Amino acid sequence: MVRRDFDPATVTPDGRPPAKARLFDGTMVGPYRGSVNGEALGAAVTVLTYGNDEPGFGPVLHVHPYDEVFVITQGRARFFVGDEVVDAEAGDTVLGPAGVPHRFVNLGPGRLQTIDIHHSPRWIQTNLE
């Protein structure tokens, strides 16, 4: 597929070098396996990885002052975003809009694994339960 979404001559590099940070350690226990603040990379997004093997289990209801995008890489999840319920599976992405309380649970069977992209250079969250 050929893409020509913009003219590269219209973008001036800002001088940042490439950066690298470790997102997770596969030997860690618990659902939160790691995160990388965008600040560590000089980027505008923060990335988390979350996973669990227990159907019905997931993060508590919480809210962020920015959008969060969830990428389901394994399993099935049910998201509660404001008054909406969204079922998603591996290969799907789900948006949690800024200021809208949200949570999700593993629908099973088996492992749920997500990559969560916070549209902020650092993770900012208020738990509501």
The pLDDT score that the predictor gives to residue 120 is: 96
Task: Note the pTM of the prediction, 2 decimals.
Answer: 0.86
Name the strand (E) or helix (H) holding 41.
helix 38-41
- For residue 118 the two structure tokens come to 């916070």
Checking if the pLDDT of 78 tops 80, the result is: yes
Calculate mean pLDDT across residues 57-62.
96
The pLDDT score that the predictor gives to residue 46 is: 95
Concatenated DSSP letters of 59-89: PPSEE-SS-EEEEEEESEEEEEETTEEEEEE
Gap between the Cα atoms of 129 and 63, Å rounded? 11
In the chain the domains, ranked by start, together with CATH numbers, are 31-124 (2.60.120.10)
Q: Please write the tens of the pLDDT for every residue from 37-58.
A: 999 898 999 999 999 999 999 9
The pLDDT score that the predictor gives to residue 73 is: 95
